[in-house]
């Protein structure tokens, strides 16, 4: 197999084919439902969703409100991104002329810097004055970075604040676009800013919990199941969560053990219902986002009880050194998509701007198995841009033909987008009430 897209290497793809067929038949109703949902709850500015395709199940495993990786998208869909950015900005600030982009601080990640340059370019092409405001603490003056991969130049300027407005020396933007996930908390310079900040600071990973997101996702998947006429489990990873865990001190271990046990039983029941022969497994992750750190694959309660010191240290580590204080135990979804003659595991990542799917790419990993997390520290993946933009089906082709499989990816990714939209709305309501 050296085709232009990954292939599914599993026997039991019948449920997925039924699912894809159903999506095609009901696409107008599904799209009408999505439209009605966006009227109730505005979509976030942008979002990327990691999916896993087990053949019998297609589900999101991570929803990123501050997506990097725009440089990995197919350049053919650039105009689609441009058009979607125009819609996104118009939704939040119809009069916006200028936009300030606040990226992550890690200027040594050459891939991430390409993402910033691509995002900058897209916003400029969408017709906005755009500049980059950095929150790197020791950045004292404007600095040009020449990018190692593309040779493009990034002009970073230190973010300044006057009263409740952030700005650059001679640039007072209407909108602040965060591409910084605020893992280390909201920097004081961005706290209580009067400009529109997108996505809202409160959704940074310092505060956001995966269990909140997947709680909203569960509701969304149920509603969608009714509209699409499918069992929502086909798109929804089961989960449970534990509030207080300290892996190093072995505090909260019993909560983890009992939840792992209950969740494995629930998955077994579902596997039995659909005659799935694979072995169920769960993923234990830090509930607060961690850039893929602190993730463990578990097949039995013994895996938890027998964690060694090294595994405990791994689970306790999180981005920028925060302790893990809560854990989410999530149904593991096999990745049965593989790429190339050596069947490397491939995981789709779908990108959305506003309510529009604008493409995506596969993370192709040469070293990881089909039960493991492909977005881990030190992980080297090869991005493989989608050929299709995932936004619409092609009825002249089979339900599992590439554009239609991509459309299914786009639908499931938008379910996660809708869950994120409800998360944002809930956080705004909380902020108002506070």
Give the footprint of a copy of itself on this chain (CB under 8 A).
27-32, 34-36, 39, 76-77, 79-80, 82-84, 86-87, 90, 94-98, 124-129, 356, 389, 391-395
Which of 226, 251 has the CB closer to a copy of itself? 226
Q: At its nearest, how many Å lie between a copy of itself and the CB of residue 418? A: 15
Residue 14: its H or E element: helix 14-25
Which of 255, 425 has the CB closer to a copy of itself? 425
Q: At its nearest, how many Å lie between a copy of itself and the CB of residue 395? A: 7
The answer to whether 321 touches 372, Cβ cutoff 8 Å, is no
Q: At its nearest, how many Å lie between a copy of itself and the CB of residue 412? A: 16
- How far, CA to CA in Å, does 315 sit from each of 243, 248, 322? 15, 8, 11
- Residue 211: name the closest of 263, 254, 270, 278 by CA: 263
Residue position matching structure tokens 């605020």: 182
Q: At its nearest, how many Å lie between a copy of itself and the CB of residue 21? A: 17
Which of 56, 407 has the CB closer to a copy of itself? 407
Q: At its nearest, how many Å lie between a copy of itself and the CB of residue 160? A: 21
Q: At its nearest, how many Å lie between a copy of itself and the CB of residue 32? A: 4
The answer to whether 295 touches 285, Cβ cutoff 8 Å, is yes
Dihedral (C-alpha) 372, 377, 383, 388: value to the nearest 10 degrees?
Answer: 60
Which of 253, 387 has the CB closer to a copy of itself? 387
Q: At its nearest, how many Å lie between a copy of itself and the CB of residue 415? A: 15
Which of 264, 390 has the CB closer to a copy of itself? 390
The answer to whether 63 touches 414, Cβ cutoff 8 Å, is no
The answer to whether 211 touches 328, Cβ cutoff 8 Å, is yes
The answer to whether 329 touches 283, Cβ cutoff 8 Å, is yes
| Dihedral sign computed on CA atoms, order 74, 75, 80, 82 | positive
- Residue 346: name the closest of 331, 326, 327, 367 by CA: 367
Which of 68, 410 has the CB closer to a copy of itself? 410
Q: At its nearest, how many Å lie between a copy of itself and the CB of residue 40? A: 11
In sequence order, what are the beta bridge partners of 198? 177
Which of 86, 246 has the CB closer to a copy of itself? 86
Residue position matching structure tokens 């896993």: 52
Which of 96, 425 has the CB closer to a copy of itself? 96
Q: At its nearest, how many Å lie between a copy of itself and the CB of residue 79? A: 4
- On the question of a cis peptide bond just before residue 199, with omega within 30 degrees of 0, the verdict is yes
In degrees, to the nearest 5, what angle opens at C-alpha 181 toward C-alphas 175 and 183?
Answer: 135
What is d(CA 11, CA 147) in angstroms, rounded to the nearest whole number? Answer: 44
Cα–chain center distance at 417? 9
Q: In what order do the strands lie in the sheet with 327-331?
A: 239-242, 327-331, 282-286, 295-298
Which of 253, 400 has the CB closer to a copy of itself? 400
């Amino acid at each position: 197999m050296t085709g232009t897209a990954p292939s599914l290497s599993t026997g039991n793809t019948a449920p997925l084919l039924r699912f894809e067929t159903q999506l095609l038949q009901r696409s107008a109703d599904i799209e009408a439902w999505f439209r009605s949902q966006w009227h109730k709850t505005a979509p976030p500015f942008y979002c990327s969703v990691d999916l896993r395709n087990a053949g019998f199940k297609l589900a999101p495993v991570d929803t990123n409100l501050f997506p990097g990786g725009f440089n990995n998208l197919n350049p053919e869909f650039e105009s689609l991104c441009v058009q979607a950015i125009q819609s996104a900005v118009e939704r939040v600030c119809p009069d916006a002329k200028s936009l300030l982009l606040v990226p992550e601080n890690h200027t040594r990640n050459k891939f991430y810097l390409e993402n910033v340059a691509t995002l900058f370019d897209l916003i400029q092409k969408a017709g906005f004055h755009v500049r980059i405001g950095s929150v790197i603490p020791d950045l004292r003056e404007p600095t040009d970075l020449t990018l190692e991969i593309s040779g493009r130049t990034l002009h970073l300027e230190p973010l300044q604040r006057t009263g409740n407005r952030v700005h650059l020396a001679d640039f007072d933007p209407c909108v602040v676009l965060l591409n910084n996930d605020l893992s280390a908390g909201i920097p004081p310079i961005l706290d209580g800013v009067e400009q529109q900040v997108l996505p809202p600071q409160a959704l940074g990973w310092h505060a956001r919990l995966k269990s909140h997101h997947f709680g909203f996702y569960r509701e969304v998947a149920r509603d969608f199941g009714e509209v699409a006429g499918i069992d929502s489990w086909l798109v929804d990873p089961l989960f449970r969560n534990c509030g207080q865990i300290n892996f190093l001190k072995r505090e909260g271990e019993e909560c983890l053990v009992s939840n792992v046990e209950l969740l494995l039983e629930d998955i077994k029941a579902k596997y039995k219902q659909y005659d799935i022969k694979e072995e169920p497994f769960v993923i234990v992750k830090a509930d607060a986002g961690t850039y893929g750190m602190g993730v463990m694959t578990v097949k039995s309660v013994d895996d938890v009880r027998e964690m060694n010191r090294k595994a405990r240290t791994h689970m306790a580590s999180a981005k920028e050194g925060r302790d893990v204080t809560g854990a989410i135990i999530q149904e593991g979804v096999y990745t049965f998509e593989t790429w190339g003659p050596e069947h490397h595991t491939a995981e789709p990542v779908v990108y959305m701007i506003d309510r529009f799917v604008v493409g995506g790419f596969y993370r192709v990993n040469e070293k990881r198995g089909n039960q493991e997390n492909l977005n881990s520290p030190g992980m080297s993946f090869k991005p493989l841009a989608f050929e299709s933009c995932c936004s619409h089906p092609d009825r002249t082709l089979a339900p599992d033909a590439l554009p239609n499989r991509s459309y299914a990816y786009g639908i499931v990714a938008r379910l996660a987008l809708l869950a994120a939209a409800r998360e944002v709305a809930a956080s705004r309501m909380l902020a108002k009430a506070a």
